[in-house]
Structure formats: structure tokens, C-alpha cells
Amino acid sequence: MRWLPVILALWFAFPAQLLARDIHREKSLYRNIVVREEFGRRCLVFSAKRGDRNQTCMDLKHPQRLVFPYVRMTLGGLLVNPAPKKILVIGLGGGSIPVTLAELFPEATVDVVEIDEAVLRVARKYFDFAETDRLKVVISDGRVFVKRSILKGARYDFIVLDAFTGDYIPEHMMTREFLEELKSILDNGGVLVANTFSSSVLYDHESETYKAVYGPFLNFKLPITGNRVVIARNGEMPDDATIKARARQFASLLEPYDVDIMKFPRYMSRGEDWDYHKRPLTDQYSPANLLRGDLY
């Protein structure tokens, strides 16, 4: 036992990277992709300028479990639309969001848009992702797909916006024009669920942009994560009593995914906790300028 303190000291001295095992690496057209295993998890990692960022993690012993809080948070959109039939997910990652929605709603169709074909290959090989008759992936830029959907007259009642470059959300998917394009393919009463960040320098601008297009929205932030999920609707939001009743409806159904949806309503704010004097983001007013510090 005299070696125990030394062993523990060495263990905690080792950075997490040294305890991890990379089982796949490749450079795609868009990013460096790594599949890493550590602590019983397999993670899809995008290497970016600001460091490695986990996109998806799978619990190897319990693959159905949703590991990341933000992934669990996207299911908060079900409290606004509890019975989606036509679902669009922009951004594949390891596929946990579209797979979960397809399992929960086996009669629904799920379209997934992913710009990077390498991400789809990795999701298939390392994260058990598989397309079906009702779950399809299109390799395309998300905004291009939405524009084409407008021309085709396509409509969705549940849209998840989860596009991420490794550094931040693609700037052309943060603007007022893009959110208006999304709204034009969203059915009346349909819901948009957007994964953003609670500590971004763009927080005020993003919030004003969503409000300008959708009006009041649910600002969903859990204390255990730096993510926030914007839940907007093409129509009037349900009242608090309805949202709580729907949480009870889904509570047992979401237990296998490790989603405690009963606590979600208390963290969904209808108030404005941002500076509403900030300008909405537009195709001409670029988020890239803001990230360089050109705030005005």
C-alpha cells in the first residue's frame, strides 16, 4: 500500500490526452477528425484552432444513453411539439440526436443534413449510425439544403439546428436571413431547436436575431453546461402548465436515454436576459467580425 500515494499522484498528473486512445484520425475537406476512447466513452472530436472539441460521445456500455447535456436539452423541443412527424436535423456528428428522435417517433421521417461526408463515414463505422427508410442523410451545406427545400415546397414540424465547425456555429447559419429561411419551411406550430452557447460574445446579438424572426422564445439553460438551447416556434408558445404536463408525459419514455425532462421546465425562461439594444446578425453584419472583437 506504500505505493498507493505515488500511483495516485502519477494518475492525476497525467493529462487526459495521455489516458485516451485515438482509434481513428483523418483530415477531411473541412476539419481534422479524431475518434477517441477514454473512461468508457468513444468520442468524435473536431480539432480546431481553439483546441479539440468533442462533438459526440457514446457510452460504450450503454450506447442509448445521451452523454452530453446539450444533446439531452434538444429534446426540450418536445415540450413544444410533442408529436413531430417530419423532422430535420442540421449537423450529424455521431448521429445521437437523429437516432434518438427516430427511435422515439418510429412513424416520423428524419432528414439529416451534414456537409462533411467524412463525418457520415465515421458515424457509421464508430458510432453505430445507420440510415433507414425513414432516417436519411443528405451531404450538403445546411443553408443550401434549406434553400432547395423552399423551392421544393418541403415542410417540417421539428427542426434541430446543431451545425458546428469545431470553433463555433457557421456564421451563415446565424443570420436573420437564414432563420427566416428556416421559418419558411417550418409548419404552423412547428418548433425550431437551436444549440448555441450561454457565454458567447455573440449572445446578445444571437438572441436579438431569434427574437426578430420568431418573436418570444424559450431560453433554455441548465446550470451544469455552458450550452443554451433556443426553442422557437412558428406560432404561439404553449403555456407553462402545458409544458409541465408534457414533461410528465415523456418522463418514463426518456429514462433509457438518461434524460430527466421533468426538471427542464424550471430552466426554460421566457424573459430577456440580454442587451436588446444589440443589432441582429445579418448576412451583411457578419458574426466573424464580432469574433474578431469588432463590436459596435
Q: How sure is the predictor about 167, in pLDDT bands with cuts at 50, 70 and 90?
A: low
Residue 12, pLDDT score: 43
User: CA-to-CA distance for 13 and 262, rounded, in angstroms?
Assistant: 39
Task: Look at residue 13 in the predicted model and tell me its pLDDT.
Answer: 42
Residue 123 pLDDT greater than 90, yes or no: yes
Domains identified in the chain and CATH numbers = 69-291 (3.40.50.150)
* 134: three-class secondary structure by DSSP: coil
Higher pLDDT: 56 or 95? It is 95
What distance in Å separates the CA atoms of residue 36 and residue 191, rounded to the nearest whole number? 34
Which DSSP string corresponds to 157-208? EEEEE----SSSS-GGGSSHHHHHHHHHTEEEEEEEEEEEESS-TTHHHHHH
**Residue 53, pLDDT score:** 62
What is the pLDDT at residue 51? Answer: 47
> Does residue 196 carry a pLDDT above 70?
yes
Q: Are the C-beta atoms of residues 191 and 101 closer than 8 Å to each other?
A: no
Residue 164 has pLDDT above 90, yes or no: no
In what helix (H) or strand (E) does residue 212 lie, and over which residues does it extend? helix 203-214
> What mean pLDDT do residues 62-78 have?
95
Contact, 146 vs 186, CB < 8 A?
no
Determine which one of 141, 162, 258, 275 is catalytic.
162
Q: What is the mean pLDDT of residues 196-214?
A: 93
Average pLDDT over residues 15-35: 82
* Cell reading at 30: 473541412
Is 22 catalytic? The answer is no
Q: Which of 101, 215, 216, 221 is nearest to 156 (CA)?
A: 101
pLDDT band at 10 (very low <50, low <70, confident <90, very high): very low
% residues pLDDT > 90 (the chain): 78
Q: Classify residue 240 by its DSSP letter.
A: H
- Mean pLDDT lowest for which of 40-54, 72-86, 95-109? 40-54
Which residue shows C-alpha cell 409544458?
Answer: 243
Q: Would the pLDDT of 21 be above 60?
A: yes
Mean pLDDT of 115-125: 97
Nearest to 80 by CA among 146, 175, 160, 179: 160
What does the pLDDT look like over 32-62, one tens digit per residue? 999 999 999 999 998 655 545 667 899 999 9
Structure confidence at residue 288 (pLDDT)? 66
Q: What is the C-alpha separation between 139 and 133, in angstroms, rounded?
A: 17
Stated pTM of the model: 0.89
Tell me, what's the pLDDT at 224? 83
Query: Beta partners for 59?
Result: 41
Beta strand spans in the chain (E): 21-27, 32-38, 41-48, 51-59, 86-90, 109-114, 135-139, 156-161, 186-197, 218-220, 227-233, 268-269
pLDDT above 50: residue 117 = yes
- Cα-atom radius of gyration of the chain, to the nearest Å? 20
User: Taking the CB of residue 276, how many other CB atoms lie within 10 A of it?
Assistant: 9
Q: What angle do CA 287, 293, 294 make, to 5 degrees?
A: 70
pLDDT surpasses 50 at 210: yes
Say whether 21 sits in a helix, a strand or coil. Answer: strand
